[in-house]
């Protein structure tokens, strides 16, 4: 599917070939060249063995912290911002895990 999108991005019959479109197509092609096999393997395992489709724990943590980091950038670089992220970490410690080796447990 991603390779089809890239081929359409490169086709002047579909999209006007501006510099930004060409740059996007090159970046997407590099991404597919680097990670395409891993993505296909993950998706195949998800279909065949019902494994989770997330790539790793880092992706999950980024998903948790992203909304907080968008809010925290408006805080001055003082103790308030540090306290804000400490409260996020505390919330994560009380979170009961729903899958993995620590299922139905929390850090606390």
Report if residue 107 sits inside a domain. no
Query: If pLDDT is split at 50, 70 and 90, which confidence band does 29 have?
Result: very high
Task: Round the CA-based radius of gyration of the chain to a whole number and report it.
Answer: 20
Report if residue 45 sits inside a domain. yes
Distance between CA 25 and CA 8 in Å, rounded?
9
Report if residue 26 sits inside a domain. yes
Report if residue 74 sits inside a domain. yes
Q: What is the pLDDT of residue 77?
A: 62
Report if residue 102 sits inside a domain. no
**Residues 12 and 41 placed together within one structural domain of the fold:** yes
User: Which carries the bigger pLDDT value, residue 36 or residue 78?
Assistant: 36
**Residues 6 and 42 placed together within one structural domain of the fold:** yes
CB 68 within 8 A of CB 84: yes
Task: Tell me the residue range of the domain where 82 lies.
Answer: 57-94
Q: What is the pLDDT of residue 54?
A: 62
- What confidence tens digit (pLDDT) does each residue in 56-74 have? 655 666 676 677 666 666 6
* Mean per-residue pLDDT, 7-31: 90
CB 64 within 8 A of CB 92: yes
């Amino acid at each position: 599917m991603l390779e089809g999108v890239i081929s359409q991005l490169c086709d002047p019959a579909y999209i006007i070939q501006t510099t930004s479109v060409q740059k996007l197509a090159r970046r997407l092609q590099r991404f597919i060249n680097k990670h395409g096999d891993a993505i296909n393997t993950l998706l195949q395992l998800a279909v065949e063995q019902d494994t989770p489709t997330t790539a790793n724990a880092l992706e999950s943590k980024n998903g948790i912290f992203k909304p907080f980091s968008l809010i925290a950038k408006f805080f001055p670089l003082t103790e308030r911002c540090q306290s804000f992220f400490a409260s996020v970490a505390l919330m994560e410690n009380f979170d009961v895990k729903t899958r993995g080796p620590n299922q139905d447990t929390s850090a606390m």
